[in-house]
């Protein structure tokens, strides 16, 4: 009997930005947190601009239209 790994594609379901961190919640329940310093456009943005985000690619990334900023979940996981 062989076993195979189940590949789970991490998809974003929620995002929150503060003055110190970016927090991303994934559909599988994981939460990723990164320093806001890693993302200069987010760091300099207003709270309203940070709150205006949408998932892209079915949830494989995040887009902030007011900032023209895109971040991939895979990139966050690799950091």
Over residues 29-47, the pLDDT tens digits come to 999 999 999 999 999 999 9
d(CA 25, CA 40): 21
Q: Which CATH superfamily is domain 12-78 in?
A: Uncharacterised protein PF10387, DUF2442 (3.30.2020.40)
Over residues 10-33, the pLDDT tens digits come to 999 999 999 999 999 999 999 999
20-59 burial: b if 16+ Cβ within 10 Å, else e? eebebebeeeeebebebeebeebeebeeebbeebebeeee
Per-residue confidence (pLDDT) for residue 1, from 0 to 100: 60
d(CA 52, CA 74): 21
Phi, psi of 26 (to 5 degrees): -100, 160
- Residue 5 pLDDT level (bands cut at 50, 70, 90): confident
């Amino acid at each position: 009997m062989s076993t195979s790994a189940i590949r789970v594609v991490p998809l974003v379901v929620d995002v929150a930005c503060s003055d110190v961190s970016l927090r991303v919640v994934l559909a599988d329940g994981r939460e990723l947190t990164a320093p806001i310093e890693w993302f200069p456009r987010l760091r300099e943005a207003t709270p309203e601009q940070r709150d205006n985000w949408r998932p892209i690619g079915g949830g494989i990334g995040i887009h902030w239209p007011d900032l023209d900023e895109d971040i991939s979940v895979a990139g966050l996981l690799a950091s």
